[in-house]
Amino acid sequence: MATQTFDDLEPMTDGIEPIAVEEREDRIERARELMAANGLDAIYLDAGSSLLYFTGVKWARSERMTAAVIPALGRIAYVCPAFEEPRLLSMLTLGDDVRVWQEHESPYHLVAGILNDRGIASGTVGMEETVRFFLFDGIRKEASDARFAGADPVVIACRAIKSAAEIALMQRAMDITCEAFKACLARLEAGITPREFRANNVAAHEALGVRGGTAAQFGENTAYPHGRDDETPLAEGDVVLMDGGCTVEGYHSDISRTIVFGEPTERQRDVWNLEHQAQAAAFAAAQVGAPCEAVDAAARRVITDAGFGPDYEVPGLPHRTGHGIGLDCHECTHLVRGNQTPLAPGMCFSNEPTIAIYGEFGVRLEDCMVITESGPRFFTQPSPSIGQPFA
């Protein structure tokens, strides 16, 4: 079966406002305030989403260091391979101190040089949470007088609270993925394979002007939260679970829908309705000041009270209720037992309790939400019923 065409869809990218340079400058100033409060003299950012968050530089990771050092006092500085310097310079909107290394030279020496030049050679450097060990190891050997610590109190504290501009980009991404999902479900037919369904979803997102996609599971495979390697074609009565998203200016959407291809059985309806109740309970619990773990507990209570579980046992809810979302599809902080971080305005999460029943099927309903001063708000409205995946 060939990938479907989506000539009926039009791009939804008009009017998108990228993150302004002024907002990135404010982020760096906020980071410096947090550095001072947490005893850090600088933070080191590896290529990836945190580098993008603070500097606007979008750079794929490789074995070659491309990074930034943001000191608590003084100018930001960058390190990159010499042959990449022109490309990096074309991206810079903050700072112009770029230090380059040839293939036979040490980038770690350059990082140590930045610390020395900023007067913090014996200071404390915070390492952003996803810095790869070989980079950290090389830096600590070269900058032997420095002390090192995690930069979570700075980086996570900044990134966890989304600005109005970030929320607007996420809203656009969510809206686009909803339209892509609707278009793909409208083209659902017996005999289609999960691979073909995924290809259709990629094509639908492309028609809407972005890069995106979805995981797709049919029948018994829906009981496995991330599926199995099985391309069994869709048949009447199968549960269909799709889970995916796209990015807009780097910001993610993440949505799941579960339906039945054909007429649902009473068992399928009952489990779907229970999942719907669990998602609603999580939403109701997501109030300003409540600990993150309370949201997970509320959803899990609905499921265990119905006789599933307990805890992470299957049949039941085998994973946390939600994850943070932003420049990474999964980012801190998470809605999980033991996380006592209080919910605050600007935090964004997925809300996706799952009911997994091995040997039968699974149901996951996922909509993301932002915490506001007056409580949670969904980016996308939850499914009204098993036969109506979109409100």
Query: Cα(391)–Cα(384) distance, rounded to whole angstroms?
Result: 6
The answer to the question of residue 62 being in a domain is yes
Are 261 and 322 part of one and the same domain? yes
**Total-model pTM:** 0.96
CATH of the domain at 153: 3.40.350.10
As a whole number, the mean pLDDT across the chain is 97
Cα separations in angstroms, 271 against 1, 240, 260, 355: 32, 14, 12, 8
Nearest CA to 24 out of 50, 46, 49, 55 is that of 55
Are 231 and 193 part of one and the same domain? yes
Domain of residue 265 covers: 164-378
Query: Cα(98)–Cα(333) distance, rounded to whole angstroms?
Result: 32
Percent of the chain at pLDDT > 90 equals 97
Are 101 and 138 part of one and the same domain? yes
Are 89 and 182 part of one and the same domain? no
From 160, 181, 207, give the residue that closes a domain: 160
The answer to the question of residue 372 being in a domain is yes
Query: Cα(181)–Cα(6) distance, rounded to whole angstroms?
Result: 12
Q: Do the beta carbons of residue 140 and residue 131 sit within 8 Å?
A: no
Q: Do the beta carbons of residue 8 and residue 183 sit within 8 Å?
A: yes
Are 59 and 181 part of one and the same domain? no
The answer to the question of residue 389 being in a domain is no
The answer to the question of residue 326 being in a domain is yes
Q: Token match 């993610």: residue?
A: 252
* pLDDT value of residue 230: 87
For 253-281, what is each residue's pLDDT tens digit? 999 999 999 999 999 999 999 999 999 99
Confidence check: pLDDT of 250 > 90: yes
Bridge partners of 371, per DSSP, are 376
For 134-165, what is each residue's pLDDT tens digit? 999 999 999 999 999 999 999 999 999 999 99
Strand, coil or helix: what is 244? strand
* pLDDT value of residue 2: 62
* pLDDT value of residue 5: 85
Are 104 and 180 part of one and the same domain? no
Confidence check: pLDDT of 82 > 80: yes
Are 105 and 75 part of one and the same domain? yes
Are 57 and 99 part of one and the same domain? yes
Percent of the chain at pLDDT > 70 equals 99
Are 281 and 154 part of one and the same domain? no
Alpha helix locations (H) across the chain? 21-37, 49-55, 85-91, 107-117, 133-142, 152-160, 164-186, 194-207, 266-285, 292-305
The answer to the question of residue 103 being in a domain is yes
Query: Cα(349)–Cα(170) distance, rounded to whole angstroms?
Result: 11
Please give the average per-residue pLDDT across 176-182, as a whole number. 98
For 182-219, what is each residue's pLDDT tens digit? 999 999 999 999 999 999 999 999 999 999 999 999 99
Query: Cα(308)–Cα(390) distance, rounded to whole angstroms?
Result: 27
Count of structural domains within the chain? 2
From 110, 135, 160, give the residue that closes a domain: 160
The answer to the question of residue 77 being in a domain is yes
The answer to the question of residue 12 being in a domain is no
Are 299 and 251 part of one and the same domain? yes
Cα-atom radius of gyration of the chain, to the nearest Å?
Answer: 23
Query: Cα(379)–Cα(322) distance, rounded to whole angstroms?
Result: 14
Bridge partners of 79, per DSSP, are 67, 99
The answer to the question of residue 386 being in a domain is no
For 300-343, what is each residue's pLDDT tens digit? 999 999 999 999 999 999 999 999 999 999 999 999 999 999 99
Are 156 and 168 part of one and the same domain? no
Query: Cα(203)–Cα(180) distance, rounded to whole angstroms?
Result: 9
Q: Do the beta carbons of residue 138 and residue 106 sit within 8 Å?
A: yes
Give yes or no for a cis peptide into 11 (omega within 30° of 0).
Answer: no
The two tokens of residue 148 are: 């090192």
Are 224 and 263 part of one and the same domain? yes
From 160, 188, 219, give the residue that closes a domain: 160
CATH of the domain at 188: 3.90.230.10
For 354-371, what is each residue's pLDDT tens digit? 999 999 999 999 999 999
